[in-house]
Amino acid sequence: MSSFLLVKYALAGDIDNSSRKRIETLAEIRNRLIHFGRFPERGSVHDDAILFIRLTEFIITKILGLSPSNVFNTLENLEIFLGKGEKTN
């Protein structure tokens, strides 16, 4: 996942340095999954991996010219992940 994709497919507005560092953790998940067939070993990897999968689905849907569903609150979870949104229960 890269900040380029998030901006190009209108999932995120402008990306600051703090957000860019958070996005690097998604890139790490992608790289470990593609190259080694497993997720990195760290505490928050499960939640981050789910976000990565949901964002991938969202982007592929947009590439195919379809209207993505936000049933899993993907956009809101991305904002929270990037530190720009508020966590709700």
Task: Kindly state whether residue 88 falls inside one of the protein's structural domains.
Answer: no
Domain that holds residue 24: 3-81
Task: Kindly state whether residue 89 falls inside one of the protein's structural domains.
Answer: no
Q: pLDDT tens digit string along 62-72?
A: 899 998 888 88
Q: Which residues, in sequence order, are CB contacts of 6 under 8 Å at separation 6+?
A: 12, 15, 23, 55, 78
Task: Kindly state whether residue 15 falls inside one of the protein's structural domains.
Answer: yes
- Residue 40 is predicted with a pLDDT of 83
Does the structure show a pLDDT above 80 at 82?
yes
Task: Kindly state whether residue 74 falls inside one of the protein's structural domains.
Answer: yes
- Residue 11 is predicted with a pLDDT of 75
CA atoms of 44 and 3, how far apart (whole Å): 20
Does the structure show a pLDDT above 70 at 87?
no
Does the structure show a pLDDT above 60 at 88?
no
Q: pLDDT tens digit string along 29-80?
A: 888 888 998 888 877 788 888 888 898 898 899 899 998 888 888 888 888 8
Prediction pTM value: 0.75
- Residue 69 is predicted with a pLDDT of 84
Domain count, the chain: 1
